[in-house]
Amino acid sequence: MQIYMQITPQDDKPPRFYNLFIQQDLLGGWSLVREWGYQGSPGKMRREHHDSLEKAMDSLMQCRDTQLRRGYRVVFARGEGPPA
């Protein structure tokens, strides 16, 4: 599952982005990867480990809802579950 969001650019700055995606790790757990920053520049990244896919999905949805309240808009979302 991946959700890519952007916020409307302000002044002469490029738009900010927020990218959320889930990936399985080598030990059978799941990671929520969050990346954010200005479009076209290196962003910051944070990984959160979860024991189950359900917990990772819950965390992804909470992060998405938080960013939507902050003014971000979903540009695209793909997948209903983990990447193949």
Q: Report domain extents, the chain.
A: 2-78
CA atoms within 13 A on the CB side of 69: 6
Q: State yes or no: pLDDT of 80 exceeds 70.
A: no
Give me the chain's average pLDDT, please: 91
22, 82 in Cβ contact below 8 A?
yes
For the chain, the residue count is 84
Mean pLDDT within 20-40:
94
Q: CB of 2 within 8 A of CB of 14?
A: no
Q: What is the value of pTM for the model shown?
A: 0.86
Cross-strand partners of 51: none
Domain 2-78: what homologous superfamily?
WGR domain (2.20.140.10)
CA 68, CA 75: separation in Å to the nearest integer? 12
